[in-house]
């Protein structure tokens, strides 16, 4: 079972007030239904959604719509269920804010359908049940989307989502519009908003694990980069010492720099900070990282002079 189906099944079991049911059904029909003069047709791959929609229509309008299994043209192995509303159509369309008194389709749902915050949440739940999906955080990037056929509906759903500061955006697709959220925290907030409590717990646990894993990887990469830098620096300093010794130039260094030279040869794998600490402990004379840097610069300068002299003699 996909993560999206798990979420939809969970929220399909939630109880609603009458006004919430009207808002949810309105959104479901607007984002899933095919509306003609004599019927409304709804399709889904999830039987639990069929049961919910049928029960809601029966509760609101006191009749049971027709339900049947039809051929799935998307080449999916899943069965495709179809709900047909062909009774009391005029009442259904007007009560759910689909058509106005003159039988004209509302571009966006009338405000009285989503008059309160709970009704807005119910509308978003209906839109998600109709055409929404959320990626499993274990398997891919964070992504939540709701598909809308009409631009007015897409903009309206985006507006409702952003009333809750979810930073939803719209992308124009070939066959409609995709309202989407990419931020993990915002997707989690959306699931809380529609009542998918168990899904939120799963999502947050996976998200925390992924964040910790990513942090560990970043720290490991950073540590490796630092180690590479330490080895590179130490290797350069050892080459400089080799040049000085080859030219019998150690005697040209002051005593403190000679100590640094000897300790670098003795501890070729440590960082400058660690080298300063070792010298401080073993000699009893405090040496800072800045101090060891200063001495290593003197070694570099002397080695550079010998290199230039060799180049000139050539």
Residue 37: predicted pLDDT: 81
**Boundary residue ending a domain (195, 212, 243):** 195
Residue 222: predicted pLDDT: 75
* Residues 46, 132 within the same domain: yes
Q: How many residues does the chain have?
A: 314
DSSP 139: T
Query: What pTM does this model have?
Result: 0.68
Q: Which residues of the chain have pLDDT under 70?
A: 73-77, 313-314
Residue 313: predicted pLDDT: 66
* Residues 40, 165 within the same domain: yes
- When divided into structural domains, the chain yields a total of 2
Beta bridge partners of 172: 177
* Residues 186, 264 within the same domain: no
Residue 29: predicted pLDDT: 94
* Residues 50, 105 within the same domain: yes
* Residues 103, 248 within the same domain: no
* Residues 171, 62 within the same domain: yes
- Expressed as residue numbers, the domain containing 73 is 3-195
Q: Give how far Cα 31 sits from Cα of 85, 176, 217, Å.
A: 15, 11, 42
Kindly report the CATH number assigned to the domain that includes residue 147.
Answer: 3.10.28.10
Q: In this predicted model, what pLDDT tens digit does every residue of 99-112 receive, in sequence order?
A: 888 888 889 999 99
* Residues 114, 234 within the same domain: no
Residue 46: predicted pLDDT: 92
Residue 314: predicted pLDDT: 59
Structural contact between residues 41 and 34, judged by C-beta atoms closer than 8 angstroms:
yes
**3-state class (DSSP) for residue 78:** coil
Residue 36: predicted pLDDT: 84
Residue 212 lies in a domain: no
* Residues 18, 72 within the same domain: yes
Given the DSSP bridges, would you call strands 80-85 and 66-70 parallel, antiparallel or unpaired?
antiparallel
Structural contact between residues 67 and 33, judged by C-beta atoms closer than 8 angstroms:
no
* Residues 23, 155 within the same domain: yes
Residue 57: predicted pLDDT: 94
Give the whole-angstrom CA distance, residue 180 versus residue 187. 9
Residue 76: predicted pLDDT: 59
**Boundary residue ending a domain (195, 217, 249):** 195
**3-state class (DSSP) for residue 51:** helix
Structural contact between residues 237 and 296, judged by C-beta atoms closer than 8 angstroms:
yes
* Residues 103, 229 within the same domain: no
* Residues 176, 257 within the same domain: no
Residue 75: predicted pLDDT: 59
């Amino acid at each position: 079972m996909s993560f999206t189906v798990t979420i939809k099944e969970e929220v399909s079991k939630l109880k609603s007030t009458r006004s919430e049911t009207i808002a949810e059904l309105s959104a479901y029909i607007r984002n899933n239904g095919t509306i003609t003069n004599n019927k409304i047709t709804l399709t889904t791959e999830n039987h639990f959604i069929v049961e919910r929609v049928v029960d809601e229509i029966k509760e609101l309008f006191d009749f049971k719509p027709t339900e049947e299994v039809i051929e799935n043209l998307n080449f999916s192995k899943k069965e495709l269920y179809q709900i047909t509303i062909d009774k009391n159509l005029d009442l259904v369309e007007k009560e759910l804010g689909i058509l106005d008194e003159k039988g004209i389709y509302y571009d966006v749902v009338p405000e009285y359908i989503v008059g309160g915050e709970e009704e807005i949440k119910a509308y978003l739940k209906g839109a998600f049940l109709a055409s929404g999906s959320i990626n499993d955080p274990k398997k891919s990037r964070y992504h939540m989307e709701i598909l809308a056929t009409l631009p007015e509906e897409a903009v309206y759903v985006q507006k409702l989502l952003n009333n809750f500061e979810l930073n939803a955006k719209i992308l124009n697709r070939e066959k409609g519009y995709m309202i989407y959220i990419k931020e993990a925290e915002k997707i989690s907030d959306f699931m809380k908003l529609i009542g998918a409590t168990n899904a939120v717990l799963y999502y947050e646990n996976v998200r925390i694990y992924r964040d910790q894993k990513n942090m560990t990887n970043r720290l490991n990469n950073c540590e490796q980069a630092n180690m590479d830098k330490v080895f590179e620096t130490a290797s350069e300093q050892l080459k400089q010492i080799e040049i000085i010794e080859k030219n019998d130039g150690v005697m040209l260094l002051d005593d403190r720099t000679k100590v640094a030279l000897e300790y670098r040869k003795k501890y070729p794998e440590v960082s400058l900070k660690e080298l300063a600490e070792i010298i401080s402990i073993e000699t009893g004379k405090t040496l800072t990282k800045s101090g060891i840097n200063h001495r290593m610069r003197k070694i570099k300068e002397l080695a550079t002079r010998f290199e230039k002299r060799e180049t000139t003699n050539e």
